[in-house]
Amino acid sequence: MANIPKGARILEFGAGDGTKDRARMYDVTAIEHNEAYLTDEYTCIFAPIVENEESLLRDEKGWYDATALEFLKMQTFDLLIIDGPPGEIGRNGILAHPWVLKSSSSILIDDTHRGAEQYLAQAVLDRMDDANLIILSEESEWGTRETTIISEVNK
């Protein structure tokens, strides 16, 4: 995140401890389905999980209810982070809402060591005319968690 200037606007799908850390330096709007993660430390929008066609095609449970996100349609962000919902629910449902992907020219996709997120990264790249795509792979080894940038791609 070194290239993202302090105060930049970030739209993040999935909220957690990392989101709280980012909110100290950035203007973060997080979308979250789990009420336990809702907070007033940054803008946090509740959006329940609903089925959609893209999720069903990938054998996933669903994605955030896009009707709860309508107010975001005309907004732009410096960075879009796809780190939710959790893998057991699925993230590919975002593909059913291309306007979300177009809200930022820089998109970070987390957990690309998993097949579903690898597919999502390629699908996002295929759908974006001019995008800076950052993919992160996170794997646990011996009780530690390591994050590395695998690639940064400009189409």
* 34 vs 49: CA distance, rounded Å: 9
Question: pLDDT of the chain along its 155 residues, tens only?
Answer: 557 899 999 999 999 989 999 999 999 999 999 999 999 999 999 999 999 999 999 999 999 999 999 999 999 999 999 999 999 999 999 999 999 999 998 999 999 889 999 999 999 988 887 768 888 876 544 333 434 343 444 44
Q: What is the pLDDT of residue 148?
A: 38
- Give the contacts of 148 (CB within 8 A, at least 6 positions apart): 136, 137
Q: How far apart are CA 54 and CA 60, in angstroms?
A: 8
Contact 41, 15 (CB under 8 A): no
Model pLDDT, residue 129: 75
- pLDDT of res. 120: 95
Residue 17 near residue 39 (C-beta atoms within 8 A) = no
Is the preceding omega at residue 85 within 30 degrees of 0, hence cis? yes
What's the pLDDT at 137?
A: 74
**What local confidence, expressed as pLDDT, does residue 138 receive?**
64
Q: CB-hemisphere CA count at 13 Å for 63?
A: 22
Q: Dihedral through CA 2, CA 83, CA 98, CA 134, nearest 10?
A: 40
- For residue 1, the model assigns a pLDDT of 59
Candidates 41, 51, 50; CA nearest to 12 is: 41
The structure's pTM equals: 0.87
Distance between CA atoms of residues 25 and 34, nearest Å: 24
Q: Where are the domains of the chain?
A: 25-154
